[in-house]
Amino acid sequence: MTLFWILTAALTALALAHVLPVLLRSRPAKAALDAAARRASTLAILREQAAQLDAELASGQLDAKQHRAAREDIERRVLEEADAVGPTTKTLATNAPAERPWKSAWLLGLGVPLLVGTIYSRVGSPQAIDAPPPPPVASLGADNVTDAQVEELVTKLATAMEQKPDDLAGWTLLARTYAVLQRYTEASKAYARASALAPNDAQLLADHADVLAMLQGQKISGEPARLVTRALQIDPKNLKALALAGGAAYEAGQYPQAIEYWTLARRLSPPDTPFSENLDRSLVDARRALQGGAPGVPEAPTATADTGAAAQPSPSVPGPAHVAGTVSLSPALAGKAAPGDTVFIFARAAEGPRMPLAILRRTVADLPIQFTLDDAMAMSPAMKLSNFPVVVVGARVSKTGNALPSPGDLSGQASGVKLGAEGLQIVIDTVQP
């Protein structure tokens, strides 16, 4: 800040050096004196404004475009002031009696800097002068974001939203963030807030139904089905609603209706995507069940941020980029896990972001669990297994159901796993400190 004020004082002195000599020389008659004084004062203030603009650009309060536009406006006004001095004023200055307006000189010499400083202290941002520069954008990338930082950001967002009850975009972002973190209870509450602000938004209704289904053990009957029906009344071509409606019909043994919903969803969905591939497999299951075969597990997408990923692809049909194996619990830790505790099975990059590339949710009662992780389980289209040749495959038991690790969680993992690896044996044998 010291350097800033030194520069400000220097620029002020420079401005006054051009103004005070004019005031202290022999002055024209009163009319000319007033005109010159007004001009000098205006030019001094314009120079002060120019100095402030430069300081605000240096401190980051203005970007280059805003700074340039403001400077051009000041320069235009300076030219106008210069053009305002005509021959009449100069003639009067030559013939006028001399006087020395010391009062005006003192007023401008001290008053203008004090006035400008006072105004800046009131409406400017002096504290920004000493503020450290913002970190480079690259330093905020996924490589450096820890689980604790993610949790902190989500908490801050949730706190901010309590102060903005009418912010639809904010509630929607919070709900989808909770859903990605598999915090379905909080996601449901946030979706309810968002839906109250936009009751005719079909996508919000479908997303809300999605997380409610996860809270019901991936069952779509009841409230999720009601929300799906409402979503399709608003938008009959909503992909997630169609997929969930097919899942609800499949659960109820209404295979023709399931085929109808999924066929329409398949026709509307982009080709060659995990979503469309899952619909193809679900249609095969539904047609087999309709012909009297044993029904399989439908693969309608559930609890995803968008319709491009599915929560539970079939382990028997791995995609081109996948890892597969079995997760078991060490007998030494059997007493620390309850049957209802959540089991997360995940894969993440061996080097780089710690964000899961694929994730599967089960319970301790399902152990040992045979699993397949592939691109269909990606939490983000940009973060898929196929983008990383070597991964870490792990499993974690959580009593809270929170996707973020907590002290006391049980875990196990295998490192250096290449894509396509099968027969992995993941033993949960460690207690998180």
For position 17, what pLDDT does the model report?
Answer: 64
User: Where does the pLDDT of residue 270 fall: very low under 50, low under 70, confident under 90, or very high at 90 and above?
Assistant: confident
Sign of CA dihedral 250, 254, 259, 261: negative
263 domain residue, yes or no = yes
207 domain residue, yes or no = yes
For position 133, what pLDDT does the model report?
Answer: 46
* The pLDDT of residue 103 is above 50: yes
Q: Average of pLDDT values for 97-116? A: 55
Output the six-digit token pair for 359: 């994730």
274-324 pLDDT, tens digit per residue, is 777 878 888 888 888 888 755 544 544 444 434 433 333 333 334 457 899
Pairing of strands 424-428, 358-363: unpaired
58 domain residue, yes or no = yes
Same-domain pairing of 61 and 123: yes
The whole-angstrom separation of Cα 312 and Cα 285 is 15
Same-domain pairing of 162 and 275: yes
* Average pLDDT over the chain, rounded to an integer: 73
Q: Between residues 327 and 147, which one has the greater pLDDT?
A: 327
For position 403, what pLDDT does the model report?
Answer: 66
Same-domain pairing of 105 and 157: no
For position 350, what pLDDT does the model report?
Answer: 84
> 424 pairs with which residues across the strands?
325
* The pLDDT of residue 200 is above 60: yes
311 domain residue, yes or no = no
Same-domain pairing of 284 and 188: yes
Question: What percentage of the chain has pLDDT greater than the value 70?
Answer: 57
416 domain residue, yes or no = yes
Q: Average of pLDDT values for 12-21? A: 62
Q: Which of 335, 346, 343 is closest to 385 using CA atoms?
A: 346
Contact status, residue 356 vs residue 345, Cβ threshold 8 Å: no
Same-domain pairing of 110 and 200: no
The whole-angstrom separation of Cα 182 and Cα 65 is 43
Same-domain pairing of 337 and 271: no
CATH code for position 244: 1.25.40.10
The whole-angstrom separation of Cα 300 and Cα 239 is 10
Same-domain pairing of 58 and 119: yes
Torsional class of 102: left (φ above 0), alpha (ψ -120 to 50), beta (otherwise): alpha
Output the six-digit token pair for 47: 């120079």
For position 141, what pLDDT does the model report?
Answer: 44
User: Where does the pLDDT of residue 231 fall: very low under 50, low under 70, confident under 90, or very high at 90 and above?
Assistant: very high
* The pLDDT of residue 60 is above 50: yes
The whole-angstrom separation of Cα 345 and Cα 347 is 7
Same-domain pairing of 74 and 122: yes
Cβ-count burial of 415 within 10 angstroms (0-12 exposed, 13-18 middle, 19+ buried)? exposed
Q: Between residues 50 and 103, which one has the greater pLDDT?
A: 50
394 domain residue, yes or no = yes
Same-domain pairing of 208 and 251: yes
Please tell me whether the peptide bond between 21 and the residue prior to it is cis, using omega within 30 degrees of 0: no
Question: Angle, to 10 degrees, between the axis of helix 223-234 and the axis of helix 202-215?
Answer: 160
Give the number of domains in the chain: 3
Contact status, residue 50 vs residue 8, Cβ threshold 8 Å: no
Write the single-letter amino acid at 95: N
249 domain residue, yes or no = yes
310 domain residue, yes or no = no
User: Where does the pLDDT of residue 218 fall: very low under 50, low under 70, confident under 90, or very high at 90 and above?
Assistant: confident
For position 58, what pLDDT does the model report?
Answer: 63
The residue segments making up the domain with residue 175 are 147-290
Same-domain pairing of 271 and 154: yes
Contact status, residue 218 vs residue 208, Cβ threshold 8 Å: no
Same-domain pairing of 271 and 159: yes
Q: Which of 3, 15, 12 is closest to 43 using CA atoms?
A: 15
Sequence-distant (≥ 6) Cβ neighbours of residue 423 within 8 angstroms? 324, 325
Q: Average of pLDDT values for 387-410? A: 85
136-192 pLDDT, tens digit per residue, is 433 344 444 556 677 788 888 888 888 988 889 889 988 888 887 878 899 999 999
Same-domain pairing of 163 and 278: yes
